[in-house]
Chains A and B, each alone.
Chain A
Amino acid sequence: MKSQTMLLSEIFNVFKKNVLLLMLMMLIGGGAAYYLSQYVIAPTYEASTQVLIVPKEEAGTNVVDSAQVSSSLSLVNTYRVIMRSPAILNEVQERVAQAPTDISEILLVESEEESQVINIVVQYADPVVATDIANVITQVFANEIPDLMNIDNVRILSEAVVPGEPIAPSVVMNTALGLVAGFIVGGVLALIRHTFDKRIHDEREAELILSMPVIGSIPIIEKRDMNPKVVKPKAEAGKEPKGDDPHVPPVKETRQTS
């Protein structure tokens, strides 16, 4: 019954009461994510090359025909499949000694729509190998196409450069995710704790459960409550004018003599 009527403000109150738990869970989550992405997860490097599919050259014409462009566009898809085929990859395997056995897993061939450019992206733990693979694939592909398609219309647009920074894992992103996950776990724990908490926390709850009026509510008595310090300033203020005669002179005397 209670959980059904739980309002947003109540949930907020639960969080506020369990702020220590929330902080701890966030610290654990964020810390673990930071540690994992910084020291445990192997970084991945990305090397990419670009290949341009040029329209078929016809003798004497320097003008690029739109029909020729569209025909080379339709070739792009075919080329993408060829690039991933064993015909190409097996040769790459032979030429790059350190390449993994399944290159197609780390190979990403993409082309943007309506463009004649194919991007060849290789993601691998070793930046140099990644660059090698990307370059070799491009070379092999450019060499093989004339044989396979009977047209020489592939040009290498850009070579791969050895990447300096890994693309994954992103430490900042992962840590942020860890913090959020920690917050969620902490929040769920806090709510569970609240639900299974059998104690009666406040007057409203007591009246609801016992259907009796609350006639008094005593806060936790702490040591400082026992000293009547709330009254002290007033008492001292009242003493000052009339307290001159009995107390102050002896103090002055002792000061002078010492």
Chain B
Amino acid sequence: MFHLSKKQDKHRDSGRRLITLANPKSPIAEQYRTIRTNLQFTALGATLQTIVVTSASPGEGKSTTASNLAIVYAQLGKRVLLMDCDMRKPTVHFTFQLSGQTGMSTVLAKRTTFDRSVQMTKVPKLHLLAAGPIPPNPSELLASPMMKQLLDEVKEKYDLIILDAPPLMHVADSRLLASETDGTILVVGCDNSNRDLVLKAKEQLVLSGAHMLGIVMNKRERGGKDAYYAYTYE
């Protein structure tokens, strides 16, 4: 009845996503570093080179999480590649203010090579492979052998690859990606998640053989906890 979240969402889309870049010392950026640390502990013993970030429904904060996570990893000195696998509604290149002319779709369709499509971002050591022009058959492209080839190729070039996947609710893309990568993060937006859908999404991911790393709660309401973090951080 009193939720204004949709309006806020529109506002937030306009370049306000890269908080780890704009304000690296803020408590929120610290939260992304906490995710990074938690992932390092989760990965103990196993290789964690490719991470899929997905969510049950659109707008829960996949791209924001993926972008910021890529930045904090790059700030650690790792060579990071961020891949926008959401070829239906690509957004990451807007966030980084880069071109969307070439990317996943052109590489997978073998129209360009990876080396010519990848772009440098303003963050050192962080490279972006945009989604490219919207293709008519994104699922087929992601399921094609070329995708596997591409993953093998980038695994040799980067320490960490973060894949920004489409939402699980409607399409099979993310399950395909999740089954071919080392780990999957499920983003849950506090303001627009549906627990039935989220549970279904998780079950689908587990069924498709994904290695679930954990949940990232996004757009959590601010409470006393934040003040605490801000205080200790200063």
Contacts and interface: CB of A to CB of B under 8 A. Distances in A.
Interface of A: 20-21, 193, 198-203, 205-207, 209-210, 212-221, 223, 225-228, 230-231
Contacts of B194: 198-199
A209 B195 contact: yes
A214 B217 contact: yes
Contacts of B118: none
B150 interface: no
Interface of B: 1-2, 8, 11-12, 16-17, 19, 22-28, 31-32, 34-35, 38-39, 42, 61, 64-65, 185-186, 188, 190-196, 198-199, 202, 212-222, 226, 230, 233-234
B2 A215 contact: no
Contacts of A219: 27-28, 31, 219-222, 226
A18 B150 CA distance: 50
Contact of A199 (B38, B65, B193): B193
A216 B213 CA distance: 11
Given A218-B31, A218-B64, A230-B230, 20 more contacts: A198-B196, A201-B190, A201-B221, A209-B195, A212-B202, A212-B215, A215-B38, A215-B213, A216-B216, A219-B219, A219-B220, A220-B8, A220-B221, A221-B12, A225-B19, A226-B16, A226-B22, A228-B22, A230-B26, A230-B234
A218 B215 contact: no
B23 A225 contact: yes
Nearest to A207: B215
Contact of B215 (A198, A215, A223, A227): A215
A202 B61 CA distance: 15
26 contacts: A199-B193, A199-B195, A200-B188, A200-B217, A202-B217, A203-B215, A206-B188, A209-B195, A209-B199, A210-B186, A210-B202, A212-B214, A214-B216, A215-B38, A216-B34, A216-B38, A217-B216, A218-B31, A218-B216, A220-B220, A220-B222, A221-B12, A223-B16, A226-B23, A227-B22, A230-B234
Contact of A217 (B11, B192, B198, B217): B217
Contacts of B11: 223
B190 A199 contact: yes
What 9 A-B pairs are tightest by C-beta distance, nearest first? A216-B35, A215-B214, A215-B38, A217-B217, A228-B23, A216-B216, A213-B214, A198-B194, A226-B22
Contact of B186 (A199, A212, A231): A212
A243 to B, nearest CB: 21
Contact of A214 (B1, B8, B215): B215
A226 B27 CA distance: 11
A227 B34 contact: no
B2 A21 contact: yes
Contacts of A203: 215, 217, 220
A197 to B, nearest CB: 9
A217 B192 CA distance: 15
A146 B72 CA distance: 105
Contact of B32 (A210, A213, A216): A216
A215 B220 contact: no
A200 B193 contact: yes
A145 B234 CA distance: 93
Contact of B65 (A201, A206, A218, A220): A218
A212 to B, nearest CB: 5
A212 B38 CA distance: 13
A48 to B, nearest CB: 51
Contacts of A201: 190, 221
Nearest to A198: B194
Contacts of B28: 218-219, 221, 225
